[in-house]
Amino acid sequence: MSAVLNPSHYTAEEYIARERSALYKSEFHDGQIYAMTGASREHNLIAVNIAGELRDQLKKRPCEAYINDMRVKAAEARSYHYPDVAVVCGAPQFEDAHVDTLLNPAVLIEVLSPSTEAYDRGGKFTHYRKIPGLREYLLVAQDQPSIEHYVRHEDGWILTEAVGLDASVPLDSIACVLSLREVYDKVLDDELPSSGD
């Protein structure tokens, strides 16, 4: 999470009004507004690769995937976030007629960055877990082919890890599979063309 923009406390309504007219994105938790930082090349490529894979698999199905500009509300946590990728199956529910704040994601995906990794694992995941319909949460490393996959069960969340380019992650709640080879396409050094090519 980035620095607080202003030490004042805001209502959720004040945050939304500011956010809809702002030139940059911010997240909100419990009265505080937090500026978001830019993302690296690797971060962007991974997010686009994931969204592309999901788009192909969700075609002609009643599901939608959104990439990093769809705000998600965790009402019980009194927070708003911009996940790198969000997926909803069935009718998407939005906070209001602006259709820019999703209430019912089934899957949320964050690409880890050095500046946000601790928050994505801790506070943000705590907020996301309070979204009743959320079934799966993925944390995707940038520097190695590794995805942490959290799945909601009746008695809590269970973690599995997929490591290596030959691994894959089954997203059972949306009937999709993410191949790590596709997720990390054009990202890892050994897959980039050398300067002599």
Q: Over the stretch 144-173, which tens digit does the pLDDT of each residue have?
A: 999 999 999 999 999 999 999 999 999 999
Q: Over the stretch 14-45, which tens digit does the pLDDT of each residue have?
A: 999 999 999 889 999 999 999 888 889 999 99
Task: For the chain, list the domains and their CATH numbers.
Answer: 39-191 (3.90.1570.10)
Cα separation, 156 vs 131, whole angstroms: 13
Entry field: residues in the chain = 197
Cα separation, 171 vs 76, whole angstroms: 25
Q: Report the predicted TM-score, pTM, of the whole model to 2 decimal places.
A: 0.90
